[in-house]
């Protein structure tokens, strides 16, 4: 019976380790496995504790490593210590002790009250890591996101500038065309208006003077025409006399 229990426990642990992608590490003073994610509630915490054979005196913990590149699960002798608010925890390399990380500048999720280390699953930001930093740390977010933002921003700015230039150029063409059309239409209209206005605004005296001027001009043209005719007749007469 004991053998069956032993084999069942072995198979369960093997299956759980396979699912959790756990890998043993040798640099610590006690058995430590890597894991993809830490338990998210008390039930999962207890399940993982049983899976790696933790006990009441050597309780289960799941924390980041010192480099903040991996999550670690292990059995730890002081698994119920109180942690001050504004603090996350990680496992040190050199002596396999716990150490604290000030999280008061986190965007959100930093513990705002004192808590026990075995309840760290309540504070997801203390267990969310990537690129060697806590993801809730503004410096971590800016390191991973600023490049992308600035790159997109420069691309967007370039596209916006090009579109704006084309838009302004098109506007200038339309404005120039419109002004040219208005000018061509307005010049004849203005000339006609000025001509009509000048005729309508003649006083009787101006009209009489203009009429007399026109008559005098006609008389001068008539006199000049008569003189030209006389000169032509005299020239013709003189020519005939010579021939005679």
Band of residue 194 on the pLDDT scale cut at 50, 70, 90: confident
| DSSP calls for 154-219 | HHHHHHHHHHHHHHHHHHHHHHHHHHHHHHHHHHHHHHHHHHHHHHHT--HHHHHHHHHHHHHHHH
Q: What are phi and psi of 93, to 5 degrees?
A: -80, -45
Q: Would the pLDDT of 144 be above 60?
A: no
Q: What percent of the chain has pLDDT over 70?
A: 55
Mean pLDDT of 179-208: 69
pLDDT, position 200: 53
Q: Would the pLDDT of 15 be above 60?
A: no
Given phi > 0 = left and psi -120 to 50 = alpha, else beta, which region is 73?
beta
Mean pLDDT of 178-193: 77
Mean pLDDT of 166-181: 69
Compare 24 and 243 and report the one with higher pLDDT: 24
What SS3 class is residue 97?
coil
Residue pLDDT, tens place only, 73-131: 999 998 899 999 999 999 999 899 999 999 999 999 999 999 999 999 999 999 999 99
CA-closest candidate to residue 98, choices 110, 81, 115, 123 = 81
Mean pLDDT of 159-163: 50
| DSSP calls for 105-162 | TSSS----S-EEGGGGGG-GGGT-EETTEETTSHHHHHHHHHHHHHHHHHHHHHHHHH
pLDDT, position 231: 64
């Amino acid at each position: 019976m004991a053998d069956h229990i032993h084999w069942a426990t072995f198979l369960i642990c093997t299956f759980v380790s396979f699912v959790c992608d756990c890998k043993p590490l040798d640099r610590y003073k006690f058995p430590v496995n890597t894991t993809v994610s830490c338990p998210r509630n008390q039930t999962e915490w207890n399940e993982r504790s049983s899976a790696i054979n933790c006990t009441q005196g050597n309780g289960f913990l799941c924390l980041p490593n010192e480099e903040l590149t991996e999550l670690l699960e292990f059995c730890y002798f002081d698994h119920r210590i109180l942690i001050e608010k504004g603090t996350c925890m990680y496992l040190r390399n050199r002596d396999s002790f716990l150490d604290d990380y000030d999280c008061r500048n986190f965007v959100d999720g930093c513990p705002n009250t004192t808590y026990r280390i075995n309840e760290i699953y309540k504070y997801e930001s203390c267990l969310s890591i990537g690129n060697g930093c806590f993801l809730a740390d503004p410096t971590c977010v800016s390191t991973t996101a600023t490049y992308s933002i600035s790159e997109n921003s420069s691309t967007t700015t370039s596209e916006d500038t090009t579109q704006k230039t084309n838009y302004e150029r098109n506007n200038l063409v339309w404005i120039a065309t419109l002004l040219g059309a208005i000018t061509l239409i307005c010049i004849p209209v203005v000339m006609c208006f000025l001509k009509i206005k000048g005729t309508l605004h003649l006083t009787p005296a101006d009209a009489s003077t203009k009429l007399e001027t026109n008559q005098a001009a006609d008389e001068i043209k008539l006199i000049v025409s008569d003189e030209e005719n006389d000169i032509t007749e005299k020239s013709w007469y003189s020519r005939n006399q010579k021939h005679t």
